Chains A and B, each alone.
Chain A
C-alpha cells in the first residue's frame, strides 16, 4: 500500500523521560508495533473516527460519573443530592451537565458508528464478531442511558421511567419479573433508584468494559475494514497511513473537537433539574422517553392505533425483536460471495432503516409537542 509521505519523516519521540521509561517498559517495541499497524486512507476515512469518538464520550462518562458518585446518594435522598450537586457544590453543575450531555452524545456517536460500519460493509468476514460485540455495546449504552435517566428522580425522570417500564411489563409473564427484579415493587420508588443505581454504576460498567475490551481487541486484530469501493482497487493503488502517530493524532484531534462540542453544550445549555417527582401527581403532559427510544415508543403508539391493547404491544415488541435479530444476522446475508445485487439490496435496506428511525423520531416529537401546546 502507498503511504502518506508525512508518516515516513516522523522521528520517534526522544528525550530523557522517554529513555527512562523505555529502559523499564520497552516503549520502542510498542512504538515499532504501532507504526507497523496501518489505517486505510481514502474518501470515506472520516467514518473511521466514530468508534474513537464513542470511546472518548465513554471515558468522559467514566470520569464525570466517578466525580458524581462522590456526592450522589441513591434512595430517598436521590433528588436532594442531585439538587445539591447542581446548585450547591462548586462546579457540580458542570460535571452533571458534562455527564448528561456526553451520555447523549455517546449514544449518537455509537449509532453513527454502527451505521457507518453497516454502509462500509465492515461486518463481513472476518469481522462478524466485531459487528455483534458492537451491537451488544449499543444495547448496553442504551440501557446505561435508561438507568441513568431515573437517578435524579425529578418528575420527568420518574414518569419517563414509568412509561419505559410499562412496555416490557405488559408482556405476558414479564410483568411480575420486571416488578420484582427491576422495579423492586409495584411502582417506581426509591427502591427502584437503588436497583438502577447498582445497575448503572456496577453491573453495566463491568459488562461494558469486558465487551469493549473484546471489541477493541478485534479492531486491533483485524484492523480497519476497506469499503467495497476501495476493495476493488488493486493493492498498489490503495493508500494507508501508520496508526502511530498519524492516525492516532487525527483521532486525538477528533476527541478535541468532541470535547469542544461537549463543553459548548454543557456551558451554554446546562442540564436542567425539574421539580422533585411526586408519584401522586398527574404525569406531565406529553411525557416521553429520551430521543434514542423515541422511534420505538412512537412505533408502538402507531401500531397501537391499528391493533389496540395487549395484541398491539406484543406485535410491536415482536417486530422490534425480530428486526434486532435480523440486523444482527446481516453478516450472514451479505457476504462477499453473495454478489453485488444482494449487497445493494442490503444497502437499501439500511437506508430504509435509517429513514424509518428518523421519521418515527420526528413524528414522535411532533406529537409530543402538539400535546404540550
Chain B
C-alpha cells in the first residue's frame, strides 16, 4: 500500500508533473543535443583556425552548462519527486521494475554533469585535443542517460507481452530487459535523439542571435547557418520515425488518435489530436522561420526571433509530451495499471470486496470506519458522503479537480443526480462499446460505494433533486 501525500487544488497533481516535465524535456534534450553541438563546432573551429568561433562557443558553453546542469538537474529530480507524490502506485511499479535502470542512469548522469563542468572550466587550460575529448565524453554520457531513461518512459506506454505475463506476480524484475526494450523503445529513442539534435540548433540560435550583425556579419551568418543545419535531420526524418512509432503503438491507443481526427470538424476531437496538431503547426513555423531568417537573412535574425522560436519549441515539446501522456489513456502503465493507480487485475476484487477498505487515502482507523455501517441520524449522511469523497479522491482525482483543471463541478454542471448515476453506472459496467472506455478507467467498488460517490458528486452541483 502506498500513501499519496498530495491534494493539489485547481491544477491537480498531473499538471505539477506536466509543468516540470515539459521544462525538463526542453532542457534535458538540449543537454544531449547541445552535447554533440559543442564538440562538433569546436572541432570545426579548430580545424579552420577560427578564434572568433571559439569565443562564441565559449559563451555558448557557459550558457549551456548553467542551464543544463542547474535547471536540467533540478527539474529532473523534481519530476520523480512529484510523480512519487501524485501517482505513488505507478511510481512504485516503475521503481520495483527499474531500480537497476535508474542506478545506471544516475551513473551516466553523474559522469555527464562532471564532464560538463570540466569541459567549461578547462577551456583554454588544457590541450585542444584533450578538451575536445572531454566534450565527446560529455556527449556520449549524456546520450547514454537518454538511452536508459527512454526504456522506462517507453515501457509505460507499451510494457510488452513478456512483462505483462508476469505483472503482479512479484517476478516482474526478472523480465527487466524485455520491459526495457519494449515495442516502442527504438522508435522512441530515434524520435528523442532527433529532437535533441534539433533543440541543439534552436538553443544555439539564442547565442548566435546576440552576435552583432554590424560588427561581425560574417561570424553571425556562419554560426547561424551552421546551427540551422542541426534542424535538417529532424525535419527530414521525424515523419518516418513517427510513422514507425505509431506502428508500434497498441490499437486501442491508436483508436484514440483516429477518433480525434474523425471528429475534428465538429470540434469534439480528442486532446491527443489537439496536442498533435499544435506540434505540427509549431514545428512547421520553426522550420519556416529558421529557413527564411536564420538561413536566408541571418543578419536580420535577432534575439527576439530566437526567443520566439524557443517559445514555439517549448509549445511543440509540451504538446508532444502531453499527446504522448494522453495516448496512454486509460492506463498509466499500458494494459496493466489504470491512470488512477488501480491495477487491471484488481478490478474484479475491488468490485467484489469493496474499494474503500483499501483506499490509500484513508488511515487504518478510517478504513475500519468506512467499512462500518452507520445507522443513526445525520451521521448516516455524513458517513455516506465521506465514503463518496474517499471514492472521489482515490479514483477521480488522478485526472480531475473539483474546480480547476477538468473540473468536476463544470463537467457535471448540467446534470442532476440521476444523470450522474447513469454516467457512474456506465463507468462501473465498463462495457465493450462504451465510449468512456477509450480514455477513462473503470469505476470500481461495491454498488453502495458507487452510490456514495454519486451522492458526493451531486453535492458539487446543487440542483433540486441533487440533495
Chain A positions near chain B (C-beta within 8 angstroms)? 2, 4-6, 10, 45-46, 86-88, 90-94, 239, 241, 245-246, 249-250, 252-253, 256-257, 259-260, 263-264, 267-268, 270
CA of A6 to CA of B301, assembled, Å? 10
CA of A88 to CA of B267, assembled, Å? 9
Chain B hits for A239, CB < 8 A: 214
CA of A246 to CA of B301, assembled, Å? 10
Chain A hits for B390, CB < 8 A: none
CB pair A268 B278 closer than 8 Å: yes
Chain A hits for B293, CB < 8 A: 249-250, 253
In the A-B complex, list the 7 residue pairs whose CB atoms are closest, starting with the nearest.
Answer: A93-B267, A90-B265, A6-B299, A5-B217, A257-B308, A260-B285, A246-B300
CB pair B274 A268 closer than 8 Å: yes
CB pair A260 B315 closer than 8 Å: yes
Chain B hits for A270, CB < 8 A: 267
Name 11 extra pairs, CB < 8 A, besides A250-B300, A253-B289, A263-B278: A6-B299, A45-B302, A92-B267, A241-B300, A250-B305, A252-B292, A260-B281, A260-B285, A264-B278, A264-B281, A267-B278
Contact with A along B266-286 (1 / 0, CB 8 A): 110000001001100110010
Could you jot down 6 A-B contacts, CB within 8 Å? A2-B214, A10-B297, A249-B292, A253-B292, A260-B285, A263-B281
Q: A-B pairs with CB below 8 Å: how many?
A: 74
B298 at the interface (CB under 8 A from A): yes
CA of A249 to CA of B299, assembled, Å? 12
CB pair A6 B297 closer than 8 Å: yes
CB pair A6 B265 closer than 8 Å: no
B214 touches which one: A4, A90, A249, A264 (CB < 8 A)? A4
Chain A hits for B450, CB < 8 A: none
B228 at the interface (CB under 8 A from A): no
CA of A98 to CA of B319, assembled, Å? 19
CA of A175 to CA of B437, assembled, Å? 57
Q: Which residue of B lies closest to A6 (CB)?
A: B299
CA of A239 to CA of B213, assembled, Å? 11
Q: Which residue of A lies closest to B218 (CB)?
A: A5
Q: What class of interface size applies to chain B in its complex with A? A: 20 to 34
B312 at the interface (CB under 8 A from A): yes
**Nearest Cβ distance between residue B107 and chain A, in whole angstroms?**
39
**Nearest Cβ distance between residue A53 and chain B, in whole angstroms?**
12
Chain A hits for B299, CB < 8 A: 4-6
Chain B hits for A2, CB < 8 A: 214
CB pair B298 A6 closer than 8 Å: yes
CB pair A267 B297 closer than 8 Å: no
CB pair B289 A93 closer than 8 Å: no
CA of A5 to CA of B220, assembled, Å? 12
Contact residues of B between 239 and 295, Cβ < 8 Å to A? 264-267, 274, 277-278, 281-282, 285, 288-289, 292-293
Q: Which residue of A lies closest to B293 (CB)?
A: A253
Given contacts A239-B214, A268-B278, contact A91 B265 (CB under 8 A): yes
A249 touches which one: B274, B282, B285, B297 (CB < 8 A)? B297
CA of A5 to CA of B266, assembled, Å? 50
Chain A hits for B285, CB < 8 A: 256-257, 259-260
CB pair B300 A6 closer than 8 Å: yes
B233 at the interface (CB under 8 A from A): no
B447 at the interface (CB under 8 A from A): no
CA of A252 to CA of B285, assembled, Å? 12
CB pair A256 B213 closer than 8 Å: no
Chain B hits for A86, CB < 8 A: 267
CA of A87 to CA of B265, assembled, Å? 9
CA of A267 to CA of B271, assembled, Å? 10
**Nearest Cβ distance between residue B357 and chain A, in whole angstroms?**
36
Chain B hits for A245, CB < 8 A: 297
Q: Which residue of A lies closest to B273 (CB)?
A: A267
Given contacts A249-B300, A253-B305, contact A260 B312 (CB under 8 A): yes
B304 at the interface (CB under 8 A from A): yes
